[in-house]
Amino acid sequence: MKVKHILAIFIAGLICTVLGAMFKILHWQFAPELLSGGTFLQLIAGILGIWKIYTTEEFKKFLNK
């Protein structure tokens, strides 16, 4: 998976989280679902980002210096 895809997932999660917070402030429906979904997307993007960094060859060379 490319880094731009991971960033797209993270940005989508960030947008969902911000919309969920706005819905929560305005007492609209589906606020908890948006907050949970956005947080879940951000978590997945974070795990994928860590996995991408860990499996990169240059990162392994950097750690062995």
DSSP-assigned letter for residue 29: T
pLDDT at position 65 is 60
Cα gap 12→14, rounded to integer Å: 5
Residue 40 burial (CB count, 10 A)? 13
pTM across the whole model: 0.85
Task: Find the distance separating the first CA and the last CA of the chain, reported in whole Å.
Answer: 27
The total domain count for the chain is: 1
pLDDT at position 55 is 87
Q: What would the pLDDT profile of 2-56 be if each residue is shown by its tens digit?
A: 889 999 999 999 999 999 999 999 999 999 999 999 999 999 999 999 999 888 8
Query: Could you tell me which residue, 58 or 43, shows the higher pLDDT?
Result: 43
**Domain extent at residue 29:** 3-64
